[in-house]
Chains A and B, each alone.
Chain A
């Protein structure tokens, strides 16, 4: 009682096929593949959309049910243009799986032999091929309900119905934030990321190019899924070896620049607080928002451009690394930065857009040449004939080396906040974090609730550490202050927080807020292996937190490579002149009006 037929079947281990149904999304009941016979009802009922209100008898496999399901699949295939071999979802396609399950051996209702739609590849991040669309509207529900961005809807009527954007404009011209959540939920190959594999292979095969790759924290916790491993296993060391065997000259850890981000963004926060609380500078705005999620950044630029000053000016870890590789690293190793090709493995579709932002050229070149999703990397590893789980483990390359656990947990929602707090608490109070929070785990900011809020009273302060000595004279002004922080993931939750701030609610009194565009943070990113659901995201997060606990260094400011970088290269310290030139950026007021 109170469940749908589908849920009841699941609880009783009775399999019912689904297509438009998705655990993260509301019920649509449009595909009808999950139809069952309900005793006393004349017609078949969609089990996903049938709430049980009284005891009923259902049959999930009868001649009528099987015939109806087969007809539905046949009808979907009759309009499904393209061949399975040349589709990136081959072997991971829900339509293909169903066709196999129901023994489709020929096209009962014919098959389209020419495309009806043009492929929209205008966006750096998301490619739409509506010939493969089966109109399940998962992307629509993702975009409108889950993310509340509102880019995709069903357009037209009857046979001509298709999924489209406002005014049928190319994706690059509308308010798409590139989060790629629609890709993760598409059952077929209608939505995919803009794939740069060919260009990367070309660079690898070119002996004159020095190809380096940085790997974000989340792909390593999920890439095993592409090789048939259960979610929740990390393949950091194995991935490093595989990347070297593919032909990347150097393998770096984006967590290094995540640590650097904490130093820059944390310093920026302390400076903002100092200016606002001590200097009473009214031009300084608080709360400070994190800026590492490019989907969130573009969301803010579109929907709340008046809050751009709140956004941390620190670049995302990906772009910080890009700027360092073509300056610091290239110089140190006597490589012409023009010959360096910088690739970033990200759990993210929006990172592809981010590396193409015109302002991301502070090294004098395009700082990051290609953003590669975890899915595409898995494909490259397979192309190279490598079975990832069997690779021997190896470490990251110098001069950036292995990073801290703080950088690693950037991958899960609340991770940036936790990493920042580990550093800020120690720098300000001089007390070790593990004395305040058991085992350094700052539990109040962890978890999967959409919005979390935490207060941390600062009761005593310590001396100002050397790296910040030139910026603030002492911490006395922070004594007695209660640090208020919040964490939101998924832009629908971000919207709630932003509306609260606009209305002057409790979040407007926060000092620092972490926003992630994707539900679950980066581990649920639009570039991660498909499928996704709450359970998978939870397991990926567990893998990240477990790896964090296994590391020796778990605080960004204790990362010796970061400290060395400040000694050797960014000599004027965090938020200093060089840091500002290379590691900070500015944003564009986009607004949401589409012209």
Chain B
């Protein structure tokens, strides 16, 4: 990692601390901020956050490991999250997954070779009455069919 990049990262964290405060309780908001901007929270970032909040790095890692939406390695530019919980499953999420896997040439949990998409399962998106559901980045799509899912993905840049 270049010194420039390290300094920029530290600056990002400092900005977030300014916004959310220096208490331990600010940790999750800071992690989320770094995740949104850098698409992951690297080991270096974790230790920087720990240093600036004056907590142990392992505590940061512990919180990070608890949340499925936070990750330590960079993912693709767009995140496709398919609901795997029972209602969506019964409504045919398997067909959606197969269609997406075929379209993007990637297995669930993986990232496409052009780094454009990462596809993964999530637990309940809270749209059980409108399944199968998936989220692409921050936007949710419901009542999916395989064709509709592929169309949605094709519109993503």
What's the minimum C-beta distance from A157 to chain B, rounded to whole angstroms? 5
Cα A174 to Cα B58 with chains together (Å): 10
| Residue pair A152, B58 in contact (C-beta under 8 Å) | yes
Say yes or no: is A566 at the interface (Cβ < 8 Å to chain B): no
The interface on chain B, measured as residues whose beta carbon lies within 8 A of the other chain's beta carbons, has a size of 14
Partner of B61, one of A144, A149, A155, A157: A155
B112 to chain A, nearest CB (A): 26
Find chain A residues with CB under 8 A from B58 CB. 144, 150-153, 165-166, 174
Most buried by A among B56, B58, B59, B61: B58
**B20 CB → nearest A CB, Å:** 21
Using a CB–CB cutoff of 8 Å, the interface residues on chain A facing chain B are: 144, 149-157, 164-167, 174, 592-595
**Distance (whole angstroms) from the CB of B130 to the closest CB of chain A:** 27
Check B65–A150 contact: CB distance below 8 A: no
Considering the complex, which residues of chain B in the window 43-62 have a beta carbon less than 8 Å from any beta carbon of chain A? 43, 46-47, 55-59, 61-62
Contact for A156 among B56, B57, B66, CB less than 8 A? B66
CB-defined contacts of B71 to chain A, threshold 8 Å: none
15 residue pairs from A and B, CB less than 8 Å apart: A144-B59, A150-B59, A153-B56, A153-B58, A153-B62, A154-B62, A155-B61, A156-B66, A157-B67, A166-B43, A166-B47, A174-B58, A592-B57, A594-B43, A594-B47
Q: Does B72 contact A (CB under 8 A)?
A: yes
One digit per residue, 1 when the CB lies within 8 angstroms of any chain A CB and 0 when it does not, for chain B 65-103 equals 111000010000000000000000000000000000000
B65 touching A166, Cβ below 8 Å: no
Q: Is the pair A155, B43 in contact by a Cβ cutoff of 8 Å?
A: no
In the A-B complex, the 7 residue pairs with the smallest Cβ-Cβ separation, listed nearest first, are: A150-B56, A153-B62, A153-B58, A166-B58, A155-B65, A157-B66, A166-B57
B66 and A153: CB pair below 8 A? no
CA distance A595 to B42 in the complex (A): 11
Whether A594 lies near B57 (C-beta < 8 A) is yes
Give the chain B neighbours of A157 by CB distance below 8 A.
Answer: 65-67
Asked if A167 and B43 make an inter-chain contact with CB atoms under 8 angstroms apart, the answer reads yes
> Whose C-beta in chain A lies nearest to the C-beta of B61?
A166
> Would you call A167 and B59 a contact (CB within 8 A)?
no
> Which residues from B are CB-within-8-Å of A174?
58
How far is A156 from B47 in the complex, measured between Cα atoms in Å?
A: 18
| Given A167-B72, A594-B43, A155 and B62 contact (CB-CB distance below 8 Å) | yes
Closest A residue by C-beta to B43:
A167
**A595 and B72 alpha carbons, distance in the complex (Å):** 14
Task: Pick the residue among A153, A156, A592 that contacts B59 (CB under 8 A).
Answer: A153
13 extra interface residue pairs, beta carbon distance < 8 Å, beyond A153-B62, A166-B46, A166-B57: A144-B58, A149-B56, A150-B57, A153-B56, A155-B65, A157-B67, A166-B43, A166-B61, A167-B61, A167-B72, A593-B47, A594-B43, A594-B57
Alpha-carbon distance A319/B47, docked complex (angstroms): 34
Q: In the bound complex, what is the Cα–Cα distance between A164 and B65 (angstroms)?
A: 11
Chain A residues with CB below 8 A from B56, complex form? 144, 149-150, 153
Residue among A152, A167, A593 having the largest count of chain B Cβ atoms under 10 Å: A167
Contact B47 A153 (CB under 8 A): no
Closest Cβ neighbor of B68 among chain A residues: A157
Contacts of A592 in B (CB 8 A): 57
* Residues of chain A lying within 8 A (CB to CB) of residue B65: 155-157, 164
CA distance A582 to B121 in the complex (A): 62
Measured CB to CB, the nearest residue on chain B to A155 is B65
Taking CB atoms, residues of chain A closer than 8 Å to B66 are 156-157
B7-30 interface code vs A (CB 8 A; 1 in, 0 out) = 000000000000000000000000
A264–B67 Cα distance when bound, in Å, is 53
- For A156, the chain B residues whose CB sits under 8 A away are 65-66
Q: Cα distance A154–B72 when bound, in Å?
A: 16
Q: Which of B43, B47, B62 has the most chain A CB atoms closer than 10 A to its own CB?
A: B62
Tell me the bound Cα distance from A22 to B4 in angstroms. 47
For A167, the chain B residues whose CB sits under 8 A away are 43, 61, 72
Closest to A160 in B: B65
Q: Looking at A150, A156, A595, which has the most chain B CB atoms within 10 Å of its CB?
A: A150
How far is it, in angstroms, between the C-alpha of A593 and the C-alpha of B47 when the chains are bound? 7
The smallest beta-carbon distance between A300 and chain B, in angstroms, is 17
CB closest residue in chain A, given B65 = A155
In whole angstroms, how far apart are the Cα atoms of A223 and B65 in the complex?
A: 41
Residues of B within 8 A of A150 (CB): 55-59
Whose C-beta in chain B lies nearest to the C-beta of A153?
B62
Alpha-carbon distance A167/B62, docked complex (angstroms): 9
- Could you tell me the distance in whole angstroms from the C-beta of B43 to the nearest C-beta in chain A? 6
Q: Which single residue of chain B is at the shortest CB-CB distance from A174?
A: B58
CB-CB < 8 A to A144: which residues of B? 56, 58-59
Distance between A178 CB and nearest chain B CB, rounded to angstroms: 16
Most buried by A among B47, B59, B61, B67: B61
> In whole Å, how far is B92's beta carbon from the nearest beta carbon of chain A?
27
What is the CB-to-nearest-CB distance from A185 to chain B, in angstroms, rounded to a whole number?
17
Which B residues touch A166, using CB under 8 A? 43, 46-47, 57-58, 61
Distance from B46 Cβ to chain A, minimum over Cβ atoms (Å): 8
The smallest C-beta distance from B71 to any residue of chain A, in angstroms, reads 13
| Distance (whole angstroms) from the CB of A142 to the closest CB of chain B | 13
Residues of A within 8 A of B59 (CB): 144, 150, 153
Taking CB atoms, residues of chain B closer than 8 Å to A151 are 58
User: Which residue of the partner chain A has the closest CB to B55?
Assistant: A150
Closest-CB distance, A274 to chain B (whole angstroms)? 39
Q: Which residues of B are found within 8 Å of A164, using beta-carbon distances?
A: 65
